[in-house]
Amino acid sequence: MADPMKIRAVVRNGVADVRVLMAHEMETGQRKDSSGKLVPAWYISEVTGALNGKQVLKAYWGPAISKNPYLQFKVKGAKAGDKITVSWVDNKGEKRTDEATAS
């Protein structure tokens, strides 16, 4: 299982600024290892964000995203104490979900 995501959510004037750092290798499938064999593709393919259980973000990613991707988005209507949940699924079917409380 991948390391936990680092999620920060700060609310100002009813808008949460959410910043997420995800731990993932994000292999493109085009790089070769030291023996010359292709390293298989392994990347996050779908990311979702939710505010108190209601989906507010859905993104489809591909192999062009860098290793340990950083994502930032804003959510209107948030207040301190709200739960921000971020989930991802990669092309091998592995999943990760983490949660943070907006401050």
Nearest to 66 by CA among 25, 6, 12, 100: 25
* Bridge partners for 8 per DSSP: 19
Q: What is the 3-state secondary structure (H, E, C) of the chain?
A: CCCCCEEEEEEECCEEEEEEECCCCCECCCCECCCCCECCCECEEEEEEEECCEEEEEEECCCCCCCCCEEEEEEECCCCCCEEEEEEEECCCCEEEEEEECC
Residue type, 97: T
What pLDDT score was predicted for residue 1? 56
Q: Is the domain 6-27+37-101 a CATH 2.40.50.140 member? A: no
What are the structural domain ranges in the chain? 6-27+37-101
Reading the chain (103 residues) residue by residue, the pLDDT tens digits are: 568 999 999 999 999 999 999 999 999 999 999 999 999 999 999 999 999 999 999 999 999 999 999 999 999 999 999 999 999 999 999 999 999 999 9
Separation of alpha carbons 51 and 53, rounded Å: 5
